[in-house]
Chains A and B, each alone.
Chain A
Amino acid sequence: MSTTAPEAVAGGRTGLAGALVVPATIFVAIGLIGPVAILFRYSLNQFIPGQFMVDGLTIENYVKFFTDTYYLNVLMRTVRVAVVCTIACLIMGFPLAYVLARTESRFKNLLIMAVVLPLFVGNAVRAAGWMTAFGNRGALNASLMGLGLINQPIEIMFTETAVIIGIVAVNLPFMVLTLQSVIEGINRNVEEAAFSLGAGPVTMFRRVLWPLALPGILAGTILTFILAMNAYATPVLLGGPKFQTMGPLVYGQFAQQNNWPFGGAISFILMTATLLLTVAAHLIVQRRYR
């Protein structure tokens, strides 16, 4: 037989693969790239109070952002919160995902449902729930004072801590589910092989489980990092009016100040920062483990 036959088959496959990605590609093009492009164009326009938006080609909106420490602080705060949340999700999510992946319990599906359950409640509703828990007379302070552990209510509400707790609660299920599916794909015998070759649990984790779970760890951290960078409801409700992060800032410029060019610029900075940090983290991790 000729050697071209397999190639023809492979060619057919490529064609099929192409056809399979068409719908998603169209969706991404129309739903994502389009608006982003328009946003970018807006960000180069001028804003003249009273005149709304004036067509132009200027970088003054970007200059305004990067020369004002207020905005720079908002960006730094957003990045800091997102990094802390992502690390917290990873540290708490990994053991949970591991247990979920390895359990032979009949209630496994139930456990997974329990992890996803918080997502059934919308962001705003959940944040409202946190408000009642964290407030000066909230459940947490009430019970701590009731137990006599503290005599002044702890200020949690409207702090960075409250925002971090709130975002972690939202993002943890995404991290857990991503990690769980990857850990499930790691043959249990490989862990046992490491043990039998003399690796204790910590070494086994470092040399075997972690590197093999790395694709999932990357996917999970990217997902939770992006979600945390762009969080809106949680910082607004739990952080209060003085706790500004990028998400609410963008919204404010669009909806309250009607400053679309500046709002566009902030959006673009947020997106670029998210992208750059994600890629940087990705590269660092890959360099270390490949």
Chain B
Amino acid sequence: MARLSLTHLQKVYGDFNAVDDVTIDISDGEFLVLLGPSGCGKTTTLRMVAGFVPPSAGKITIGERDVTVLPPWKRNCGLVFQSYALFPHLTVAENVAFSLEMRKVPHAERAPRVAEALRLVQLSGFDERYPRQLSGGQQQRVALARALAMQPDVLLLDEPLSNLDAKLRQEVRVEIRDLQRKLGLTTIMVTHDQEEALTMADRLVVMEKGKVRQIGNQRELYERPADRFVAGFIGRSAFLDGEATAPGRFRSRGGLDIDVGAAAGTGAATLALRPERISVAAEAGTCVNRFEARVEHVSYLGALLDIDVRLSEHDRMLLQLPNRQGSIEPKPGDTITIGWAEDAGLVYPREP
């Protein structure tokens, strides 16, 4: 258990930057989640920490140790693979004991440590089974127990839950999180499941195209996305293209003038709004920004209604209304009043 630092980490394949200047400090016992679209370099980053991919540049330190050029077997990183990667020819107990055997832990000490690891993942009594005799969820937990038994400095999880069904995933998610807290393990988990990331992480790293877009906790990412990509990736956002005309002022392509809280430079920009911050009808009455909008499409999502509205010829956006008993239910073709507070809108310079 130790802190982990990635400093200006880079991985180049040919002329392609798979991981580009990634700097992250993970404190002792922190649960960090790497989140991002497919191919953004999450696995590559994790594998550099584990020692399977040599970085093209940058530094990795675990505690006080610089491990950048250390081979995987000297790093003491517990790794859980998406495919679990259990040793098929060894029993559950032998799998879990593998790291103890490697470290020449005396035989007498091995049994209790294996039993303890299996107890932690609630698999006591499965010692003599072979991996093929276990369900996917059980295999996953053996993989976790095997990583825990080595008492790693850092625990690395690469989409550990993606092979489990939805219900099991929920359970294991909580189990992993509890264990990680209890053992105070410094952990990096990779996922592209946003809900998983948000429920498990102490802090999240949003990556895109090999670069870190933002690091922060759930609230920071949701309420203060650093850029347009994060605003669209974490949760949902309604976007309006236009231009920042003056600090605090934004004009949409369709010519709507909108007051925004945060000062921004001028020039081509995008306004991002969280759908639930947009009020409708009477509730919109007190808002600084108020517009007539024409309903184009309504999707029924159970607890929510997704509503596409058009504000002008060039401006469309998405609203989300809670599906409350007795609340109005707009229909395509209706005209409704929508509005939002000045501080609801975040303006980002347009990305090329």
Residues of A within 8 A of B (CB): 187, 189-190, 192-200, 203, 207-208, 211-212
Contact with A along B306-350 (1 / 0, CB 8 A): 000000000000000000000000000000000000000000000
| Interface-central residue, B52, B73, B77, B81, by most chain A CB under 10 Å | B73
Looking at the complex, which one of A193, A195, A198, A203 makes contact with B87 (CB distance below 8 Å)?
A193
Q: Is A192 touching B79 in the complex (CB atoms < 8 A)? A: yes
Contacts of A199 in B (CB 8 A): 73, 98, 102
Which of A187, A198, A211 contacts B102, CB < 8 Å?
A198
Could you say which residues of chain B place their CB within 8 Å of the CB of A203? 102
A208, B87: Cβ atoms closer than 8 Å: yes
| Nearest-neighbor residue (CB-CB) of B96 within chain A | A197
Select from chain B the residue with minimum beta-carbon distance to A196.
Answer: B79
- Contact between B89 and A212 (Cβ–Cβ < 8 Å)? yes
Q: A-B contact count, CB below 8 Å?
A: 62
Q: Judge whether A197 and B99 touch: CB under 8 Å.
A: yes
C-beta contact mask, B67-89 vs A, less than 8 Å → 1, else 0? Answer: 00001110111110101011111
Residues of B within 8 A of A196 (CB): 50-51, 72-73, 75, 77-79, 147
Alpha-carbon gap, A211 to B86, bound state (A): 14
Taking the complex as formed, is B150 at the interface, i.e. its CB lies under 8 A from any CB of chain A?
yes
In the complex the two chains form, is B72's CB within 8 Å of A190's CB?
no
Cβ B73 vs Cβ A195 within 8 A:
yes
- Check A198–B85 contact: CB distance below 8 A: no
Q: Flag if A189 contacts B83 (CB, 8 Å).
A: yes
Tell me the minimal C-beta distance from B8 to chain A in angstroms: 24
Residues of B within 8 A of A212 (CB): 87-89
Q: Which residue of B lies closest to A189 (CB)?
A: B85
How many Å lie between the Cα of A189 and that of B84 in the bound state? 8
Q: Which residues of A contact B150 (CB under 8 A)?
A: 197-198
Please, which residues of chain B bring their CB within 8 A of the CB of A190?
Answer: 85-88
Contacts of B76 in A (CB 8 A): 198
The answer on a CB contact under 8 Å between A187 and B85 is: yes
CA distance A117 to B228 in the complex (A): 57
Q: Is the CB of B71 within 8 A of A194?
A: no
Closest chain A CB from B76 CB (angstroms): 8
Q: Which residue of A lies closest to B74 (CB)?
A: A198
Closest to B103 in A: A198
Tell me if A192 and B85 are in contact (CB < 8 A).
yes
Q: Looking at the assembled complex, report how far the CB atom of A288 sits from the nearest CB atom of chain B, in whole angstroms.
A: 13
4 closest pairs, A vs B, by CB?
Answer: A198-B102, A189-B85, A195-B72, A197-B99
B146 part of interface (Cβ distance < 8 Å): yes
Interface size on B, residues (CB 8 A): 26
Q: B71, B78, B88: which contacts A195 (Cβ < 8 A)?
A: B71
Residues of A within 8 A of B78 (CB): 196
- B81: nearest chain-A partner, CB-CB: A189
30 of the cross-chain contacts (CB-CB < 8 Å) are: A187-B85, A189-B81, A189-B83, A189-B85, A190-B85, A190-B86, A192-B85, A193-B79, A193-B85, A193-B86, A193-B87, A195-B73, A196-B51, A196-B72, A196-B79, A196-B147, A197-B73, A197-B99, A197-B150, A198-B73, A198-B99, A198-B102, A198-B103, A199-B98, A199-B102, A200-B71, A207-B98, A207-B101, A208-B87, A212-B87
**With A and B bound together, what is the CA distance between A192 and B71 in angstroms?**
11
Question: Of all chain A residues, which has the CB nearest B101?
Answer: A207
Pair B99/A211 contact, Cβ less than 8 Å: no
B71 to chain A: which residues have CB within 8 Å? 195, 200
- Cross-chain contact A197 with B50 (CB below 8 angstroms): no
Residues of B within 8 A of A208 (CB): 87
A207 to chain B, nearest CB (A): 8
Query: How many Å from the CB of B65 to the closest CB on chain A?
Result: 15
Within 8 Å CB of A189, what residues of B? Answer: 81, 83, 85
Given the interface contacts A187-B85, A189-B85, does A194 sit within 8 Å of B79 by beta carbon?
no
**Interface bits B103-119 vs A (CB < 8 Å: 1, else 0):** 10000000000000000
Contact partners of B102 in chain A: CB under 8 A: 197-199, 203
B87 and A194 contacting across the interface, CB-CB below 8 Å: yes
Cα–Cα, bound, A276→B147 (Å): 44
A193 to chain B: which residues have CB within 8 Å? 79, 81, 85-87, 146
Chain B nearest CB, measured from A182 CB (Å): 13
Q: Which of B10-56 contact A (CB under 8 A)?
A: 50-52
Q: CB-nearest residue of chain B relative to A188?
A: B85
Among A192, A196, A211, which residue has the most Cβ atoms of chain B within 10 A? A196
B79 touches A211 (CB 8 A): no
**Which residue from chain A places its CB closest to the CB of B146 in the assembled complex?**
A197
Q: A192-B72, A198-B76, A200-B73 are in contact. List 20 more A-B contacts (CB 8 A).
A: A187-B83, A187-B85, A189-B85, A190-B87, A192-B50, A192-B85, A193-B79, A193-B81, A193-B86, A193-B87, A194-B87, A195-B72, A196-B51, A196-B75, A197-B102, A197-B146, A198-B150, A199-B73, A199-B98, A199-B102
Q: Is the CB of B89 within 8 A of A194?
A: no
Q: Which residues of A contact B85 (CB under 8 A)?
A: 187, 189-190, 192-193
Say how far B36's CB is from chain A's closest CB, in angstroms: 21
A196 to B46, CA, bound (A): 12
Q: Name the CB-closest residue of A to B52.
A: A192
